[in-house]
Chains A and B, each alone.
Chain A
Amino acid sequence: MARADRPILLVEDNPDDEELTLMSLRDAGIKNPIHVARDGVDALAWLEAREPAALPAVVLLDLGLPRLDGFEVLARLRARAETREVAVVVLTSSDVAADIARSYRLGVNSYVRKPVEFGEFAEAVRRLGLYWLVLNEPPQTTEVSHG
C-alpha cells in the first residue's frame, strides 16, 4: 500500500481533543485516512484485524483511556510480532517523568506532550504528521511476517 494511503490510528477518548487533532492534521495537508478509537480495547481490536500491509503508518496514542489505558495498549502491541514494529507516538497531557520513562521502556517511538495553547498544539501535530508520514522510513513489511 502506498504511504499516502496508509491509515493513521488516533486513540483518543476526549471529543474535544479528537476534534482539534483531526483539524490540525487536515490543516497540515495530511490526507491519509484516520481511524479514531475511543478506548484501548477498540484500538487493539482494530489493529489486530488489520492486514500487515494495511497496518497504520503511525499510531497517535493518548495515555488516559477508559477500559485499557495507553500503557497497556502499547505493551500488547509490542508483544505481538505483527505489530511490534508499528510506529507509536504517545500524545498526552502528562509531562510526568515516570510516564515518559515507562513509555520508552515499553517501546514507544516518540513521546509528545500536548500543549494547551492551540497554536503550539497545531504546530506539534503538523510536525508529527510530516515526520512520520513523509520523512520517516517505516520498516519494510512482508506478506507473511514471522515472529
Chain B
Amino acid sequence: MAERILVVDDSLTVRMDLGEAFDAAGHATELCASLAEARHALAGRLPALVVLDVVLPDGDGVELLGALRADPRTAAVPVILLSSESEVHDRIRGLERGADAYIAKPYDAAYLTSRVTELLRKERDRGHDRAMDRASVLVIDDSPTYRNALCAMLSDAGYAVLSAASGEEGLRRAVDERPDAVVVDGVMPDLDGPDVIRRIRLDPGLASTPCLLLTASEGAVVEVEALDAGADAYARKTDEPSIVLARVAALMRSSRESMRRGSSASLLGPKRILAVDDSPTFLDALATALGDDGYEVVKARSGEEALALLAHQSVDCILLDRVLPGLSGLATCQRMKDVAELRRVPLVMLTSLEEPEAMIESINAGADDHVVKSGDFGIVRARVRAQLRRKQFEDEHFRVRDALTRKEAEAAAARAAAEARQVLLDELAQKNAALARHSAELERLNAELETFAYSVSHDLRQPLRGMDGFSKVLLERHQDGLDAQARHYLGRISAGAQRMSQLIDGLLALSRVSRQPLARRPVKLDELARKVVARLMDGDPARAVDVVIAPDLRAQADPALVESVLENLLGNAWKFTARRARASIEVGAEPGSGTPTFFVRDNGAGFDMAYAKKLFGPFQRMHAAADFEGTGIGLATVQRVVHRHGGRIWADSAPDRGATFYFTLDVPEAEHGAR
C-alpha cells in the first residue's frame, strides 16, 4: 500500500506545488480544497499523513485537527499544520490541538517534504505495521469482570484492545505488540501495577509508552505512588467509565505531544531554529536567510513569547537578541539555561553592541556564542552551522555514552541478579544439607530409642519378676518363720515391684505412640468407645455405670491409637467415678461444623483446675495414690496421640464435680491448605 498524503489547502498553487514535491519523493497524494472535502476523504481509508492549512474557506483547520484527535479512529494520524499565521500564539494553539508540526508559510518545499518523510518514518518505526486504523490499548487486570468491562468500553469507543490477566502476561504482550497506551490495575497477584510500569519504563522499546494506573483507593498518596512508579496518569476504578476513557484519550494525545517535543531525536532531520528579536524587519530577514540554508525558523518577538513556545516545542538552536522589550535578552537567556531540557540547546546572543563587556555578560548569562548584528547574515549562519554541528557531535556522543552506560547498568544488574541467585542457591543447598543431617540424626535417635525401649521391656522386667516372685514364695510357703510385720513388708516389696512393672508398661506405650507411623483411616469413635466400655464392664461387672455414647462420631485417624486414647480417658472416667452412687460417663462431640471436638465426660471426683497445667505431663498425678491408683502416664500418652494427629486436647473440671476432656484429631479447617 503506497502511503497516501492528504493535502488540504484552498490555494491551487500550494496544492499543485506540494503534489509535485511529494510525488517526486515517492508519496501518493490526495488534494482537497476545503474542510468538507477533507472530511469526505478522511471518512474512507485513512491517509498516512495530513498537511492541513489553517485558514480555509469553510472553517478553521485547527478545529478539524481537534476533531481528528478526539476520534480514536483518526487520533494517531500525523498532521502538519501549514499556516501563514506564524504568530507564536497561533503556533502554540496548533501544537496544543495536536499538530505534529507547524510550518509557516511561505514554506520551503524541500524542507516540508523532508519533515513529511521524517514523520512517516517515525510512524512506521513505532510499529504501525497494520493499516492506519485504530489506536491500540493494552488492558492489564487480574479481575476478569473489570477487565472485560473496560475492554468492551474501549472497543466501543473505537480502540483496538489487547488484554492480559497478569503483570507478566501484560509485559509480554506490551513487548510483542507495542500498544499505544497501557492501562494497568494497581493491585495484582504477581506483579502489581507500579511494578509493571517500572518495567515498561526500563525497556528501551516501550519506555515512552503512556501508562495509566488504575487504583481502587483514594487520596493523594495514591497519586504520588502512581507518578513515582512512572505512570503518566491514574484513574480510580470507582470513577465513571467515561472518565477512564477520557484519561486514555488524553494519554494518547500527550504522548504524541511529547514525541513531538523530542523531535530532535533524529540527528539527521531538518533543524528548527528559534529566532527572537523585537524588530519584525530583522526577524523576517534573518528567517529568510536561515530558511535558505534549509532550516525551519520559528519567530518570536519577545523573551516571553520565546519561552511560551519552548514549552510546547523543542528547537535545535536559539538566536536571541540582547535587547528585548519586557524580559531582557540576558534574563531570557538565563531562564532558558535554567531549564534542564533547554540547557544543551545552543544559544547565540545577537547584539548591536560591539563591546567586550557585552560579550562577557552574554557568555556569563549562559550563551554559547555571541554575534554582532549586521546586514550580512553570513556570520550568523556560520555560527549557527557551527553550533548545530557541535551539538550534533555532542548528541551523538551522549547517545553512545548513554547506550554504553545502559548496557553497563544492565550487565551490572544481571550480574547482581545472578550473584543474588547464587547466594540464595548456596543458602538453599546449605539448608538442605542441614536438613539432611537433622533427618539422619533423628533417624539415629529413633533407632536408639527403639533399642532402649527393647532392652527396657526385656531387661527391666526380669528383676521385678524375681522380686515379686520370691516375696510371694516367702509369703506363701514360709509363713511359719514370718510374723505379721514381716509378711506386711514382703507384701509391700511385692506391691512395689508390680507398680514398677506398670510404670514400665506405661512408658513403653508412650514411647511406642511417638515412634509408630500414623495410619489415618475413617474411624467411628462411637464403636471404639463401645468396645472399650465393654472391656471395662467385663473387668468390673459389679459396677453399675450409666454410659451414653453419641452415635456416628466420625474422624480420619489411626484406629489403634484412637482406641488407646479412649481406653485411657474412659478408664480414667471409670476409675474416678468409682465412689459415686450413680456413676455416669458420656462420650460425644460438641455441636458445630468443621473439625469436630470430641469429649469424654464423667461425674466423678474431678480435680482442681489450678493444677491443670500438670495434667498431661508424664508421672503427674492429681490425687494421692491412696485415693486413686494410677501411673500418671496415661494422659501423657493421650496427649501425644492427639498431637500426632495435629489436634488439641484440654480439660475442664472442678473438685467433686466430674471432669470433661475435650480433644480434636485434626488441624482446624482453616489451616488445611497450609498442610
A121 and B469 contact, Cβ closer than 8 Å, known pairs A14-B462, A17-B462, A116-B498? yes
Q: Complex formed: what's the CA distance from A65 to B469 in Å?
A: 21
Could you say which of A20, A23, A93 contacts B461, with CB atoms under 8 Å apart? Answer: A93
Could you say which of B453, B458, B465 contacts A118, with CB atoms under 8 Å apart? Answer: B465
Q: Complex formed: what's the CA distance from A17 to B463 in Å?
A: 9
Q: B472 to chain A: which residues have CB within 8 Å?
A: 118-119
Q: Complex formed: what's the CA distance from A92 to B462 in Å?
A: 9
Give the shortest distance, in Å, between B451 (CB) and chain A (any CB).
11
Give the shortest distance, in Å, between A91 (CB) and chain B (any CB).
12
A16 and B458 contact, Cβ closer than 8 Å, known pairs A116-B497, A116-B501, A117-B498? no
Q: A92 to chain B: which residues have CB within 8 Å?
A: 458
Q: Is the CB of B466 within 8 A of A20?
A: yes
A121 and B465 contact, Cβ closer than 8 Å, known pairs A23-B473, A116-B498? yes
Q: A16 to chain B: which residues have CB within 8 Å?
A: 462-463, 465-466, 469-470
Q: B64 to chain A: which residues have CB within 8 Å?
A: none
> Interface extent on A, as a size class?
10 to 19
Could you say which of B453, B458, B459, B469 contacts A20, with CB atoms under 8 Å apart? Answer: B469
The answer to whether A48 has its CB under 8 Å from any CB of chain B is no
The answer to whether B454 has its CB under 8 Å from any CB of chain A is yes
Instruction: Specify which of B466, B469, B471, B501 lies most central, judged by the most chain A CB atoms within 10 Å of its CB.
Output: B469
A116 and B454 contact, Cβ closer than 8 Å, known pairs A16-B462, A17-B462, A23-B473? no
Q: B464 to chain A: which residues have CB within 8 Å?
A: 116
CB contacts under 8 Å to A, within B491-518, are: 494, 497-498, 501
Q: Complex formed: what's the CA distance from A139 to B28 in Å?
A: 118
The answer to whether B457 has its CB under 8 Å from any CB of chain A is yes
Q: Complex formed: what's the CA distance from A116 to B502 in Å?
A: 9
Interface residues of chain A: helix, strand, loop or mixed (majority):
loop
Give the shortest distance, in Å, between A87 (CB) and chain B (any CB).
24
Q: Complex formed: what's the CA distance from A121 to B468 in Å?
A: 10
Q: Is the CB of B465 within 8 A of A114?
A: yes
Q: Is the CB of A118 within 8 A of B473?
A: yes
Q: B453 to chain A: which residues have CB within 8 Å?
A: 96
Q: Complex formed: what's the CA distance from A118 to B469 in Å?
A: 5
Q: B494 to chain A: which residues have CB within 8 Å?
A: 118
Give the shortest distance, in Å, between B511 (CB) and chain A (any CB).
12
Interface residues of chain B: helix, strand, loop or mixed (majority):
helix
Give the shortest distance, in Å, between B219 (CB) and chain A (any CB).
69
The answer to whether A94 has its CB under 8 Å from any CB of chain B is yes
Q: Complex formed: what's the CA distance from A92 to B473 in Å?
A: 21
The answer to whether A95 has its CB under 8 Å from any CB of chain B is yes
The answer to whether A64 has its CB under 8 Å from any CB of chain B is yes
Q: A14 to chain B: which residues have CB within 8 Å?
A: 462, 466
CB-based A-B contact count at 8 angstroms: 57
Q: B473 to chain A: which residues have CB within 8 Å?
A: 20, 23, 118
Q: Is the CB of A117 within 8 A of B457?
A: no
Interface string of A18-52 (1 = CB under 8 A from B): 00100100000000000000000000000000000
Interface string of A87-105 (1 = CB under 8 A from B): 0000011111000000000
A17 and B465 contact, Cβ closer than 8 Å, known pairs A116-B498, A116-B501? yes
Q: Complex formed: what's the CA distance from A92 to B465 in Å?
A: 12
Q: Complex formed: what's the CA distance from A16 to B463 in Å?
A: 8
A116 and B461 contact, Cβ closer than 8 Å, known pairs A16-B470, A20-B469, A23-B473? yes
Give the shortest distance, in Å, between B455 (CB) and chain A (any CB).
9
Q: B462 to chain A: which residues have CB within 8 Å?
A: 14, 16-17, 93
A116 and B458 contact, Cβ closer than 8 Å, known pairs A16-B470, A23-B473? no
Give the shortest distance, in Å, between B563 (CB) and chain A (any CB).
16
Q: Is the CB of A118 within 8 A of B468?
A: yes
Q: B501 to chain A: which residues have CB within 8 Å?
A: 116-117
Give the shortest distance, in Å, between A28 (CB) and chain B (any CB).
14
Q: Is the CB of A95 within 8 A of B457?
A: yes
Q: Complex formed: what's the CA distance from A92 to B459 in Å?
A: 10
Q: Complex formed: what's the CA distance from A52 to B497 in Å?
A: 43
Q: B461 to chain A: which residues have CB within 8 Å?
A: 93, 114, 116
Q: Complex formed: what's the CA distance from A118 to B468 in Å?
A: 6
Interface string of A109-127 (1 = CB under 8 A from B): 0000011111101000000
Give the shortest distance, in Å, between B85 (CB) and chain A (any CB).
105
CB contacts under 8 Å to A, within B434-471, are: 453-454, 457-459, 461-466, 468-471
Q: Which residue of A lies closest to B501 (CB)?
A: A116
Q: A95 to chain B: which residues have CB within 8 Å?
A: 457
Q: Is the CB of A93 within 8 A of B457?
A: yes
Q: Which residue of A lies closest to B454 (CB)?
A: A96
Q: Complex formed: what's the CA distance from A119 to B498 in Å?
A: 11
Q: Is the CB of A64 within 8 A of B469?
A: no
Q: Is the CB of A20 within 8 A of B465?
A: yes
Q: Is the CB of A64 within 8 A of B466?
A: no
Q: Complex formed: what's the CA distance from A118 to B472 in Å?
A: 7
Q: B463 to chain A: which residues have CB within 8 Å?
A: 16
Residues of A participating in the B interface, judged by any CB pair closer than 8 Å: 14, 16-17, 20, 23, 63-64, 92-96, 114-119, 121
Nearest first, the 8 A-B pairs at minimum CB distance are: A16-B466, A116-B501, A118-B469, A118-B472, A93-B461, A20-B469, A116-B464, A116-B465
Other contacts beyond A16-B466, A118-B472, A118-B473: 14, CB < 8 A:
A20-B469, A20-B470, A64-B459, A92-B458, A93-B457, A93-B459, A93-B461, A93-B462, A95-B457, A96-B453, A96-B454, A96-B457, A116-B501, A118-B494
What are 5 sample pairs from A and B whose C-beta atoms fall under 8 A apart?
A23-B473, A92-B458, A116-B465, A118-B465, A119-B472
